């Protein structure tokens, strides 16, 4: 089954015995194939840190800055920043987020999540999977316009939507950090734009995107349940647990390696360049998804290898 990190509508469910049989058969075969490809030995490796989400980073020129690993979630357990994080942030001069959580970013996301050419999701996704997708979207309270546009969703947009709990009317952790920084008069910038992130997602070929979508459709209940486990690991700042959780299940090695290369490794290299430049000024607070800080070839590893001193603050 696809790695849970891979890492935001109302329809009437279609009741049909033959449809149910078909999707169950399709999913059984899909899960079987995924399980066969999951026989990758989990290698134990020495980690820089076993716990933590907030680090002090001292440059070779002794400038002090901070790196904070976030979780992209509206879960109330995650979205409220700890006192230790607030103390460091309000005493910084600049906040740099992975992406600015504003209406502009949201509009870009919504604009790019739909096909604008002749392509349609219901034409490239097998019919039984598309019908199950529509049933699963029943709990997402879509507007009438969104319902009409389901067939134009791009695969990555569809699996991002159903691969997470139903959104709640609550700000994310990044939104709360953004608001606090603005209230305190900090400069706020981002490492990437929403266009950058979506362009990275769309480097994954369409066949692999469809593969992820089928996986998500077939295993959605387990994925949602496991997200709750991941939230608890994050709240407890358990790096070892998060790493183990993310390494346990993923699809075939070729795809997993490609996904990690595109969505983490390549982006980390670009982020690192910007972060190093900003850290030369000192008093900079950078907040990015926790995976960017603790996965293989993480920002923490790259900075450590280049002579930056790292210290867990929280």
Burial 247-271 (b: 16+ CB within 10 A, else e): bebbbbeebbeebbeebbbebbeeb
Q: Per-domain residue ranges for the chain? A: 19-312
Structure tokens at 243: 């790493």
- Spatial neighbors of 123 by CB under 8 A, at least 6 apart, are none
Q: pLDDT at position 199, please?
A: 97
Q: Match 């950058």 to its residue by tokens.
A: 196
- Rg for the chain, CA atoms, rounded: 20
Q: pLDDT at position 245, please?
A: 84
Cα–Cα separations (whole angstroms), residue 242 to 93, 146, 302? 31, 34, 19
Contact 180, 103 (CB under 8 A): no
**Nearest of 236, 235, 238, 300 to residue 264 by alpha carbon:** 300
Reduced to 3 states (helix: H, G, I; strand: E, B; else coil), residue 162 is helix
56 DSSP β-pair partners: 66, 311
- Concatenated DSSP letters for 193-230? -HHHHHHHHTTS-HHHHHHHHHHHHHTHHHHHHHHHHH
Distance of CA 210 to the CA centre of its chain: 18
Structure tokens at 262: 């595109």
Contact 262, 204 (CB under 8 A): yes
Q: pLDDT at position 73, please?
A: 87
Per-residue pLDDT of the chain (314 residues; tens, 9 = 90+): 544 334 422 222 222 333 455 788 888 766 645 444 444 444 456 789 999 999 999 999 999 999 999 999 889 999 999 999 999 999 999 999 999 999 999 999 999 999 999 999 999 999 999 999 999 999 888 899 999 999 999 999 999 999 988 877 789 999 999 999 999 999 999 999 999 999 999 999 999 999 999 999 999 999 999 999 999 999 999 999 999 887 765 556 777 788 889 999 999 999 999 999 999 999 999 999 999 999 999 999 999 999 999 999 99
What is the tens place of the pLDDT at every residue in 259-273? 889 999 999 999 999
Cα–Cα separations (whole angstroms), residue 38 to 3, 4, 6, 247, 260? 10, 14, 16, 10, 16
End-to-end Cα distance, the chain: 32
Give the whole-angstrom CA distance, residue 241 versus residue 258.
23
Q: pLDDT at position 46, please?
A: 78
User: Residue 184 phi/psi, 5° resolution?
Assistant: -90, 5
Contact 251, 197 (CB under 8 A): no
């Amino acid at each position: 089954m696809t790695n849970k990190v891979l890492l935001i509508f109302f329809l009437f469910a279609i009741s049909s015995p033959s449809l149910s049989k078909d999707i169950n058969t399709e999913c059984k075969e899909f899960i079987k194939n995924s399980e066969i490809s999951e026989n990758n030995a989990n290698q134990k490796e020495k980690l820089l840190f076993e716990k933590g989400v907030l680090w002090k980073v001292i440059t070779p020129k002794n400038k002090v800055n901070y790196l904070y690993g976030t979780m992209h979630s509206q879960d109330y357990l995650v979205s409220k920043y700890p006192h230790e994080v607030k103390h460091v942030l309000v005493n910084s001069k600049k906040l740099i987020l992975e992406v600015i959580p504003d209406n502009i970013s949201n509009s870009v996301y919504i604009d790019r999540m739909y096909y604008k050419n002749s392509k349609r999701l219901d034409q490239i996704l097998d019919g039984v999977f598309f019908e199950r997708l529509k049933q699963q979207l029943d709990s997402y309270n879509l507007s009438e316009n969104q319902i009409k546009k389901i067939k134009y969703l791009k695969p990555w947009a569809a699996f991002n939507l159903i691969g997470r709990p139903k959104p709640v009317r609550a700000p994310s952790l990044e939104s709360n950090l953004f608001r606090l920084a603005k209230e305190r008069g900090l400069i706020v910038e981002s490492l990437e734009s929403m266009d950058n992130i979506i362009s990275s997602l769309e480097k994954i070929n369409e066949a692999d995107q469809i593969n992820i979508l089928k996986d998500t459709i077939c295993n959605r209940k387990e994925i949602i349940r496991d997200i709750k486990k991941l939230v608890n690991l994050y709240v407890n700042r358990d790096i070892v647990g998060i790493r183990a959780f993310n390494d346990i299940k993923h699809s075939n090695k070729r795809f997993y390696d490609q996904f990690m290369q595109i969505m983490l490794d390549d982006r980390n290299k670009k982020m690192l360049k910007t972060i190093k430049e900003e850290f030369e000024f000192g008093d900079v607070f950078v907040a990015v998804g926790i995976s960017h800080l603790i996965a293989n070839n993480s920002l923490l590893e790259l900075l450590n290898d280049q002579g930056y001193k790292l210290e867990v603050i929280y």
